[in-house]
Amino acid sequence: MKERIYVDNAATTPLDPLVLEAMMPYLTTHFGNPSSIYSYGRECRLAVENARKQVAKILNANPAEIFFTSGGTESSNMAITSAVRDLGCKHIISSTIEHHATLHTVEYLNNNKEAALSYVKLLPNGHIDLANLGELLKESNEKCLVTLMHANNEIGNLLDIYTVGELCKKYNAIFHCDTVQTVGHYPFNLKETPVHFINGSAHKFHGPKGVGILYINENVKVKPYVHGGSQERNMRAGTENVYGIVGFAKALEIANSNYVADSTYIKSLKLYMKEQLQKNISGVYFNGDVSGSSLYAVLSVSFPKTTKSEMILFNLDINNICASGGSACSSGSDQDSHVIRAINSNQNQITVRFSFSKFNNHKEIDIVISKLKDMI
């Protein structure tokens, strides 16, 4: 079988073998229920609590502020719903280019008449119009929840989390930042970051799927979200995903210790891909603020639309190259991408997102470019 080239790391990443090694005992011998009082249970409880402490230390938060969940989607649902139902936010301010985990939650709450909903304006390069955000906050008669993502998973644009947090503080708003694309990619110092909720998902940084975190700032008091047993300090019931939680902490530890080297390397891959595309394919266009405030792993490229290029995702797949048309959930074509639609009105383009990890190399990019030349 021909070797695959995987350049869709914003969708998910391969598991780091060191993470698997750390998880292995909890998939085999250490199978106890963390709530059991005998030794099998206690060793698993210890593993969960050590993981929580480790995650909190890396993000500079208190362990009591870290809740383990099933991933980014659940964490966003929990943060947004809790802000509306428990913290009195009757007006949600979000953007049209959020992940569906956010968009569908805010739409649900709005349709259910639990909160008003406003979308902040976007600048031509896809960044949030912060002046407009300030106006929306100022004009609102209700307590607001601002939910905006840190890095956009399709175009890579980075939000200035500090400025948004300060604006929220000024207007007494609750701030949820979807940090699924940045936890495990950038250092965090949550004690110095004006945010109430952030989330993370292990599979975006070489950890296992189906495990994430929700950070809830200690000054925010929300009610239990999943009802049942007393796990996660009564907030989210259900027997813990022990091996997943251990894997989350290990993946974060690795990402954090290798941040400088890995981010520099991955950025060099993105820049190389961009240069090679410009050199070899005419009419390429890059979506978002690609040379400015942008996630170092994501490159969103629009190619001129031709009968040939319309088949690009299909042809990439045939050539064993894994890339996506937008987010992972819109794998068929970029027509489905609400993000590209919101920021790029050119109907004569076909968009592909390439996203890189420490496991990619320059040779793979050369192969992708040589194949792409025949697909446009």
Distance CA(220)–CA(255), nearest Å, equals 28
CB of 216 to ligand PLP, least distance (A): 17
Which of residues 56 and 101 has its CB atom nearest to ligand PLP in the complex?
101
Which of residues 149 and 245 has its CB atom nearest to ligand PLP in the complex?
149
Residue of 89, 144, 168, 329 marked active site: 329
CB of 25 to ligand PLP, least distance (A): 24
Q: Which residues, 6+ apart, have CB-to-CB distance to 57 below 8 Å?
A: none
Which of residues 81 and 201 has its CB atom nearest to ligand PLP in the complex?
201
CB of 205 to ligand PLP, least distance (A): 11
Asked whether the beta carbons of 270 and 297 are under 8 A apart, the reply is yes
Asked if 329 is an active-site residue, the reply is yes
- Half-sphere CA count of 8, side-chain side, radius 13 A: 21
Q: Which residues, 6+ apart, have CB-to-CB distance to 370 below 8 Å?
A: none
CB of 31 to ligand PLP, least distance (A): 24
Structure tokens at 274: 């961009």
Which of residues 181 and 256 has its CB atom nearest to ligand PLP in the complex?
181
- What residues does 69 pair with on adjacent strands? 212
Instruction: Point out the residue whose Cβ comes nearest to ligand PLP.
Output: 72
Structure tokens at 368: 């992708």
| Run of H or E residues at 349 | strand 349-355
Structure tokens at 136: 């929306």
DSSP 16: P
Give the binding site for ligand PLP (CB under 6 A).
71-73, 76, 99, 101, 149, 153, 178, 180-181, 201, 212, 328
CA 8 distance to own-chain centroid: 13
Which of residues 281 and 328 has its CB atom nearest to ligand PLP in the complex?
328
Q: Is 86 exposed, middle or buried (0-12, 13-18, 19+ CB in 10 A)?
A: middle
Distance CA(154)–CA(298), nearest Å, equals 7
Asked whether the beta carbons of 153 and 181 are under 8 A apart, the reply is yes
CB of 307 to ligand PLP, least distance (A): 31
Catalytic residue set: 329
